[in-house]
Amino acid sequence: NAGVTQTPKFQVLKTGQSMTLQCAQDMNHNSMYWYRQDPGMGLRLIYYSASEGTTDKGEVPNGYNVSRLNKREFSLRLESAAPSQTSVYFCASTGRGLDEQYFGPGTRLTVT
Amino acid sequence: QKEVEQNSGPLSVPEGAIASLNCTYSDRGSQSFFWYRQYSGKSPELIMFIYSNGDKEDGRFTAQLNKASQYVSLLIRDSQPSDSATYLCAVNNRDTGRRALTFGSGTRLQVQP
Residue A2: predicted pLDDT: 78
Query: Does B71 contact chain A (CB < 8 Å)?
Result: no
Query: Does A8 contact chain B (CB < 8 Å)?
Result: no
Residue B93: predicted pLDDT: 76
Q: Which of A:10-29 have CB within 8 Å of B? A: none
| A22 DSSP assignment | E
Q: Which of A30, A36, A43 to mutate to test the interface with B (most CBs of B within 10 A)?
A: A43
Yes or no: say if B35 and B49 are a contact pair by the CB < 8 Å rule: yes
DSSP readout, B40-70?
A: TTS--EEEEEE-SSEEEEETTEEEEEETTTT
The one-digit pLDDT tens for each residue of chain A (112 residues) are 679 999 999 999 999 999 999 999 999 999 999 999 998 778 999 999 988 889 999 989 999 999 998 999 999 999 999 999 999 999 999 987 777 899 999 999 999 9
Burial category of B36 from C-beta neighbours within 10 Å (exposed 0-12, middle 13-18, buried 19 and up): buried
Query: Does B49 contact chain A (CB < 8 Å)?
Result: yes
Give the three-state DSSP class for B96.
Answer: helix
The one-digit pLDDT tens for each residue of chain B (113 residues) are 668 999 988 999 999 999 999 999 998 888 899 999 999 999 999 999 999 999 999 999 999 999 999 999 999 999 999 999 999 999 987 666 666 789 999 999 999 99
| B18 DSSP assignment | P
A106 CB neighbours in chain B (<8 A) are 42-43
DSSP readout, A33-84?
A: EEEEEETTTEEEEEEEESSTT--EE-S--TTEEEEE-SSSBEEEEESS--GG
Mean pLDDT of chain B: 92
**Rounded-to-integer distance, Cα B41 and Cα A88, Å:** 9
SS3 string, B80-94, reads CHHHCEEEEEEEECH
Of A48, A37, A44, nearest in space to A93 by CA? A48
Q: Which residue of B has its CA nearest to A48?
A: B100
